[in-house]
Amino acid sequence: MVTFDLDVDWGRAVWIGFGVVLALGVVWVLWSFVGTFVFALFIYYSTRRIHGHVHDRVGQPSLSAALSLGVLALPVVLLLLYVTAVGLGELQQFAGTTDLGPYYDSVQPFLNVSAAVEDPGSLVGDGRTVDLVSGSLSRVTSYLGVVGTGLLHLFVMFAVAFYLLRDDHRLAAWVTDLDTRWDVVESYARPVDRSLERVFAGNILNAVVASTVGAISYSLLNLLATDPVSIPAPALVGLLTGIGSLIPVVGMKIVYVPVIGYLSFQAWSTGSGWGFVGLFALVSFVVIDVIPDLFVRPYVSGGDLHTGALMFAYILGPLLFGWYGLFLGPVILVFVTHFARVIVPRLLPADDVQPTSVDPSHLTDPGGARPPPPGDDPASGTD
């Protein structure tokens, strides 16, 4: 009979198993609120440099973090949410999917309540009063639930960003301490941090600012338009223009240049409105394209992500994960890219065979022709 003598440190094994359970629990919590935490990372990286400047003047990390988030980040996020809601409403209307039926059904109980208040006898006696009140209360409760859930997620976003701004130096010190026992941690964490700042504080922040500025500018500019030469769904066009800045090379021109062509065709068809077309082109190029790029792009930090891979991360992220995929897709790309560059070479076995050095002059002659093999050299006297 064959026996196996297993020398197992059961105490260590139990703690490892307990650590695995804790790690799975943390992963489950993070994935359950992945959109909230990823957006919190965006807020953190977008305000980290400004927080540094504020901290140099204030000197208190909690106060400087609160000022950076409350004065800068919170108004921008609220404005972005409002502009996005307006843009989505215009998208629904522009796509021809607006149906007043559901909206009418949702407000119908309130209309019935108003009728009952004006004429109490209109509903009494037909057995609908209780159903009317309960339906109204359920709808009000559902609306309050949606608003409450949104405020809760917003609170978690800013709370996570606040503690990251205040205590990121402690996290960096912890990583450095790990480096004394595992030297690969810091060499992996530093390029990841730089690339995330480049993605969030540079590219995505520029897109957010350009989207907000574009939606507001186009909505105000459309007040000067004369039918039919006008911007279709101005807030939506502004949002798409800002998102277009994530596309390499062409950027937001992929959106507003076709709109200029559309407005020009309208002006050519009607024989008027060329002034509005020129004003739209001027606002698009100067106010929406150039100015945000000048004020935001200088905050882009170092990073060496492939431009094409980053573009596909922006495109495929929302398709796979939803709205937060715009932030999660680049995060996954950053971790995968630097894992391949930093970790994989350390995991591969070292190759002891060193290639011999070859003089390039022996490979080609000055004329660029490859020399014949030794057996075919006419000077060697061999065939």
* Number of separate domains in the chain: 1
The predicted pLDDT at position 25 comes to 92
pLDDT in tens, 243-301: 877 776 677 888 888 888 888 888 888 888 888 888 989 988 888 888 776 766 555 44
Nearest to 240 by CA among 96, 90, 97: 90
pTM: 0.64
- Regions of the chain where pLDDT drops below 50: 97-125, 300-302, 352-358, 362-371, 373-383
Q: Containing domain of residue 341, as a range?
A: 34-98+108-116+129-346
The answer to the question of residue 250 being in a domain is: yes
pLDDT in tens, 146-184: 677 878 888 888 899 899 888 888 887 777 776 555 677
The answer to the question of residue 6 being in a domain is: no
The answer to the question of residue 305 being in a domain is: yes
Distance, CA of 383 to chain centre: 68
The answer to the question of residue 83 being in a domain is: yes
The answer to the question of residue 9 being in a domain is: no
The answer to the question of residue 157 being in a domain is: yes
